[in-house]
């Protein structure tokens, strides 16, 4: 049965692409002369080069790639004045020291996640998607009640560089390239493996940034591209041919610590971020946790055959955690959701076998059986009954018992 489900999984990811073209019509009263003129105009129109609409005005705008950039690009004069960082003068070293002094006055170091839940967001997000949280937004959005800008070492390094770039200093950011988990400086979520991923609640925090930039990236895509960041960052300025550190959030001891140049785009991998995520690559436990808050606010989705409202309307919405798995009574509706084409006899035959299980389960238990949820669970692993039931309920919100699993599904 597992092989059949894996086969169905592969089949369901095939995309159906369709295209339609413009149609020309004439009224019943059109004269022969008018028809000839219309035919000529249609021919001429087809020979004209097609004007591509502005990307931001089309539905495809939400699928474009983000134009990555250095988050520490120079602030504008207006932004510098608003920050109270204007009027610095003197040698490059004196200006750099003035910026460091400004940070001591206007910034506050917070190193614990319980102080600010979003403490590491700019550092982490800018690593795999550079520019998604630029300094110009950091200094506006990360402000405490006392008026100070909060942050960790990355914030200090990035903000220092953005101000220094305004003054024309030659700057760079360097990092102690030991990963956060290994350094112990910032807590790393226990549910994540070292080196990859981000928690579902952090994806929810990131979504406004994605939407602001017309990015349609699912949790699975972002989770796949997100990487663990380094243990410490600092800004450096080229003073008379030598790089001098200006670290507003220094470690207790830099003894024996090696700093290396941190290229602003070194954590960016477009292939990982934008490629479609195969269903089999979805992090099933993370999706189960994400669906705990489904439906997402404002998501309409569909009303399924069981009368459940705001269910996922398609596979992509399901992967993004927008709505729970829908229930379908008919084979045709299930095939459409899974994008199995009408001429795919193999796919439809295998789906029919799952519907036989569905019929047996519903007749024997009196409960509905969500075939898509069953498929999701089996893309994860061969599970014991308790784990299967937990995931199934997480995806559907429906009832299931271990006895029902053992008798009708396993």
Q: Are 161 and 173 in contact (CB under 8 A)?
A: yes
Q: Are 118 and 125 in contact (CB under 8 A)?
A: no
Is the pLDDT reported for residue 368 higher than 50? yes
Distance, CA of 249 to CA of 100 (rounded, Å): 10
Percent of the chain clearing pLDDT 70 (strictly above)? 76
Distance, CA of 347 to CA of 12 (rounded, Å): 8
Q: Helix, strand or coil for residue 260? A: strand
Is the pLDDT reported for residue 73 higher than 60? yes
The predicted-structure confidence for 142-154, as pLDDT tens digits, reads as follows 999 999 999 999 9
Distance, CA of 190 to CA of 5 (rounded, Å): 31
The predicted-structure confidence for 1-29, as pLDDT tens digits, reads as follows 444 444 444 444 333 333 333 333 333 33
Q: Report the Cα 1 to chain-centroid distance in Å.
A: 33
The predicted-structure confidence for 226-262, as pLDDT tens digits, reads as follows 988 888 999 999 999 999 999 999 877 666 789 999 9
Is the pLDDT reported for residue 304 higher than 90? yes
Q: What is the dihedral of CA 132, 165, 150, 105, to 10 degrees?
A: -170
pLDDT at 54: 41
Is the pLDDT reported for residue 39 higher than 60? no
The tokens describing 156, both together, are 């200090």
Q: Are 351 and 338 in contact (CB under 8 A)?
A: yes
Q: Are 98 and 190 in contact (CB under 8 A)?
A: no
The predicted-structure confidence for 182-215, as pLDDT tens digits, reads as follows 655 544 444 344 446 778 788 889 999 999 999 9
Domain edges within the chain:
77-188+228-264, 279-409
Confidence of residue 180 (pLDDT cuts 50, 70, 90): low
pLDDT at 48: 39
pLDDT at 296: 87
pLDDT at 378: 76
pLDDT at 132: 98
Q: Helix, strand or coil for residue 305? A: coil
Average the pLDDT over each of 164-168, 238-242, 351-355 and give the range with the smallest value.
351-355
Topology (CATH) of 77-188+228-264: C8orf32 fold (3.10.620)
Q: Helix, strand or coil for residue 48? A: coil
Among residues 167, 169, 156, the alpha carbon closest in space to that of 244 is found at 169
The tokens describing 278, both together, are 């195969």
Q: What is the dihedral of CA 275, 281, 283, 284, to 10 degrees?
A: 130
Over range 262-283, report the average pLDDT: 85
Q: Helix, strand or coil for residue 261? A: strand
pLDDT at 182: 60
Q: Helix, strand or coil for residue 364? A: helix
Q: Are 127 and 169 in contact (CB under 8 A)?
A: no
């Amino acid at each position: 049965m597992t092989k059949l489900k894996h086969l169905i999984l592969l089949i369901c990811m095939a995309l159906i692409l369709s295209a339609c073209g413009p149609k020309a019509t004439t009224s019943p009263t059109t004269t022969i002369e008018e028809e000839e003129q219309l035919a000529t105009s249609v021919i001429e129109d087809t020979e004209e080069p097609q004007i591509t609409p502005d990307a931001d005005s089309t539905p495809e705008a939400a699928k474009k790639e983000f134009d990555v950039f250095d988050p520490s690009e120079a602030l504008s004069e207006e932004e510098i004045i608003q920050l109270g960082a204007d009027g610095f003068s003197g040698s490059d070293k004196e200006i750099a020291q003035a910026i460091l002094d400004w940070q001591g006055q206007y910034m506050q170091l917070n190193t614990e996640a319980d102080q600010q839940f979003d403490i590491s967001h700019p550092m982490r997000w800018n690593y795999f998607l550079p520019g998604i949280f630029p300094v110009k937004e950091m200094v506006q959005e990360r402000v405490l009640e006392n008026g100070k800008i909060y942050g960790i070492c990355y914030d200090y390094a990035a903000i220092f560089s953005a101000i220094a770039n305004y003054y024309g200093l030659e700057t760079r950011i360097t990092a102690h390239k030991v990963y956060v988990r290994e350094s112990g400086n910032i807590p790393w979520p226990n549910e994540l493996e070292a080196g990859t991923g981000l928690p579902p609640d952090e994806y929810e925090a990131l979504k406004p940034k994605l939407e602001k930039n017309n990015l349609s990236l699912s949790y699975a895509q972002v989770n796949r591209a997100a990487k663990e960041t380094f243990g410490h960052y600092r800004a450096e300025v080229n003073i008379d041919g030598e790089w001098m550190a200006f670290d507003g959030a220094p470690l207790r001891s830099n003894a024996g610590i090696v700093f290396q140049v941190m290229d602003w785009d070194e954590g960016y991998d477009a292939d990982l971020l934008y490629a479609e995520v195969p269903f089999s690559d979805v992090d099933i436990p993370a999706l189960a946790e994400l669906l705990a808050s489904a439906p997402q606010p404002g998501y309409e989705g569909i009303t399924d055959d069981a009368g459940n409202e705001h269910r996922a309307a398609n596979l992509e919405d399901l992967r993004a955690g927008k709505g729970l798995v829908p229930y379908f009574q008919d084979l045709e509706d299930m095939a459409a959701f899974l994008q199995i084409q009408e001429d795919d006899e193999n796919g439809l035959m295998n789906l029919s076998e799952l519907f036989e299980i569905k019929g047996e389960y519903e007749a024997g238990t009196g409960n509905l059986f969500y075939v898509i949820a069953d498929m999701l669970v089996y893309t994860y692993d061969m599970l014991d009954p308790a784990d299967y039931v937990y995931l199934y309920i997480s995806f559907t919100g429906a009832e299931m018992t271990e006895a029902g699993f053992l008798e009708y599904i396993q």
